[in-house]
Amino acid sequence: MVVTPAFPGRSGAQDVRRTSAGLLAGIEHDAGSSGFVLGPGQREAAERLAGFGAEVTHRRRARRLSPRPPRSIYLHGPVGRGKTWLMDSFHDRLHVRTRRVHFHDFFRSLHRGAHAPLAHGNASAIQQSVDALLADVDVLFFDEFHVHDVGDGMFIARLLQSAARHGVPLVVTSNYAPDELLPNPLWHDHFLPTIQAIKSMMDIVEVGGPTDFRRFPPAGSKPGAVPGTFSSGRIITPGTASQLGKLGLFRPPAGTARIITPTTQPIVVKNSDPDVLWVSFAALCEGLTSTADYLALASGFETWVVDDVPSPGNSDPSAAAAWQRFSNAVDVLHDQDRRLFLIGEGPLDWDEAGAARAQPADLARIASRLSLLGRSEGGAVSGNDAAGS
């Protein structure tokens, strides 16, 4: 079934149906090229996206900026069900003006804008940053939409208000249904108006199913279905010289340590290699580093080696902030497709860490992403014999 969008008037209805069918066929073709067939939940989402895309395309071609833009799309479901894949396939086939942002990139742009001089009028620096994000686009794509902090919730509310004012529809992916956003009971009620706004302006589409395709790719699927560089990394325990040597890794001498400042916080790194960042878990996650630091570092280093990683089963609540920063770093590296090596005494098993109070709220997503990495345990190396240096 092809979803035909409800567009005012009869003119152009045939073009809208043709465009919708073409977009859906394109997504199905991309799935086949990657070695799999869309499942029921994925196909329903693809149909909704195709109908939305046809409406946006017709609106653009007709140069008709109606007061009511097409309804936005909110794709949600458990990790690894193909939400981002669907969004990216659709994005690449949609011939209108678009902008794609990841959750962390969005907040980096806001924080960067907050420190920039006001360009005009009485608008705040934050508002000007949001307006710039929405300027000259027909659709904004927002990947990994989640809210765990009341401050982030305020920024999200402003984005939605501004998108409605600019007439820019959104395509959003999230691991959370709208009612599950900002789950902290101390703050959830404050976010209810924004949740209601999401439901009012977006079609909510669940992409479900029993299988995490990051962990269990469909039979015949091709390597390009997952980030190739990120998935070439390794989790290494206990991290002996022999283990590291087989992977082309050699611990830096003490004399090569240096301090770098990616944004505002200095970080002690262990090496001077221009392409490899070798840093301890404590230096990377236990200080005041932010996602902006990780984004800046990811733009400069293709390979990251993080050693002295503690066991994620640590239930000490005082470690919660460090594990949340680690979660943010993994998000950034996965999204930017950077190679990651994690070294620790072990066990380094995020699937077994669910009961630990220190682990982040998005543990399932992080565990799914880290499952893409090979493992070297006690001298045995899974996957390629050498993955980087």
Q: What's the 3-state SS for the chain?
A: CCCCCCCCCCCCHHHHHHHHHHHHHHHHHHHHHCCCCCCHHHHHHHHHHHHHHHHHHHHHHCCCCCCCCCCEEEEECCCCCCHHHHHHHHHHHCCCCEEEEEHHHHHHHHHHHHCCCCCCCCCCHHHHHHHHHHCCCCEEEEECCCCCCHHHHHHHHHHHHHHHHHCCCEEEEECCCHHHCCCCCCCHHHHHHHHHHHHHHEEEEECCCCCCCCCCCCCCCCHHHCCCCHHHCEEEECCCHHHHHHCCCCCCCHHHCEEECCCCCCEEECCCCCCEEEEEHHHHHCCCCCHHHHHHHHHHCCEEEEECCCCCCCCCHHHHHHHHHHHHHHHHHHHHCCEEEEECCCCCCHHHCCCCCCCCCCHHHHHHHHCCCEEEECCEECCCCCCCC
Structure tokens at 330: 């993994």
pLDDT at 378: 79
Q: Residue 248 phi/psi, 5° resolution?
A: 75, 25
pLDDT at 290: 86
Q: Which is it for the CA torsion 309, 299, 294, 213, positive or negative?
A: negative
320-321-327 Cα angle (round to 5): 90
pLDDT at 226: 52
pLDDT at 34: 84
| Rounded Cα gap, residues 64 and 96, in angstroms | 13
| Rounded Cα gap, residues 201 and 378, in angstroms | 53
pLDDT at 223: 43
Q: Are 343 and 334 in contact (CB under 8 A)?
A: no
Q: Residue 119 phi/psi, 5° resolution?
A: -85, -35
| Rounded Cα gap, residues 365 and 102, in angstroms | 15
Question: Taking the model in full, what pTM does it have?
Answer: 0.74
Going from the C-alpha of 184 to that of each of 45, 365, 366, the distances in angstroms are 29, 18, 20
**Residues in the chain, overall count:** 389
b/e 73-108 (16+ beta carbons within 10 angstroms → b): bbbbbbbbbbbbbbbebbbebbeeebbbbbbbbbbb
User: In sequence order, which residues have a C-beta less than 8 Å from that of residue 70 and are 6 or more positions away?
Assistant: 5, 52, 55, 56, 59, 169
Q: Are 69 and 169 in contact (CB under 8 A)?
A: yes
Q: Which residue has the tokens 């990994």?
A: 144
pLDDT at 258: 95
pLDDT at 183: 87
pLDDT in tens, the chain (389 residues): 555 454 445 556 888 899 999 999 999 999 999 888 999 999 999 999 999 999 999 888 776 555 578 999 999 998 888 999 999 999 999 999 999 998 878 877 776 665 555 555 545 777 888 898 899 999 999 998 988 778 788 888 999 999 999 999 999 999 999 999 988 888 899 999 999 999 999 999 999 888 777 776 766 555 444 558 998 999 999 999 999 999 999 999 989 999 999 988 999 999 988 899 999 999 999 999 988 899 899 999 999 999 999 998 876 788 888 998 999 899 999 988 999 999 999 899 888 765 555 677 778 888 889 999 999 997 555 554 444 33
| Rounded Cα gap, residues 105 and 295, in angstroms | 8
